[in-house]
Structure 1
Amino acid sequence: MKILVWLIGVAITAMSILVILKPQIARDLSERMNPRMFYFGAWARIVIGMIFLVISETRSWATLFNGLGILLVVVGAYALQSGYERTREFVLRVVHGNENVVRVAGAVGVLVGILLISAT
């Protein structure tokens, strides 16, 4: 389990760093998003949020882990509730908007990835 969490953290961190360096990657991924990728991403957010909630008791920054866990579960559940088309439209609006917003989202991804790595 620890190795899987570590690998997920490394993958999220690496992808987020790429998005910070080149926001065009986020545009390309969002334009290619299909329903399978959408549902995988939404459930991945929920699972990662649950991991944060489970390990928050054992970490010194329990409030941060609890907050991120709740946020990820809510975002994943909201995406599932909104549906593929509505969420895809929102994501496309965001990535075709201001590049700095995309970079900030990448920075949040780096934070989540590093926290997952530190959780192992």
Structure 2
Amino acid sequence: MATTYYTEDHEWLRVEGDVATVGITDYAQEQLGDLVFVELPETGKSLSKGDTAVVVESVKAASDVYAPVDGEVTEANETLSSDPALVNSAATGDGWLWKMKLSDKSQLDGLMDEAAYNAHIG
């Protein structure tokens, strides 16, 4: 069963085993506005917690999306190259950004659950 975690920077990650699917929250995509471009990470890229993993550009601004934990990119959501607005319509579903193999699962302990994240943005 997957467990979902949230960061203060408005990323979510859904963890199954030692693989995390990462995206931005509905709150984040609402703040950004309509996305027009997503720069995805390369498969095989090693990320450290806090590294810029993805750049999303909206009609308002460009924003970095940070790696919430250490790991290696195993897949990028290539659908977003031709349809970046999918992040706006399905931020926590089909609009995921990348998948990564976790290097240190203990880093998940520093992240929020949904209730804590909702209080954070509340």
User: TM-score scaled to structure 2, two decimals?
Assistant: 0.30
Point out the structure with the larger strand share. Answer: 2
Q: Which structure would you say has the larger RCO, counting Cα contacts within 8 Å and 6 or more residues apart?
A: 1
Point out the structure with the larger helix share. Answer: 1
Q: Which has the larger radius of gyration?
A: 1
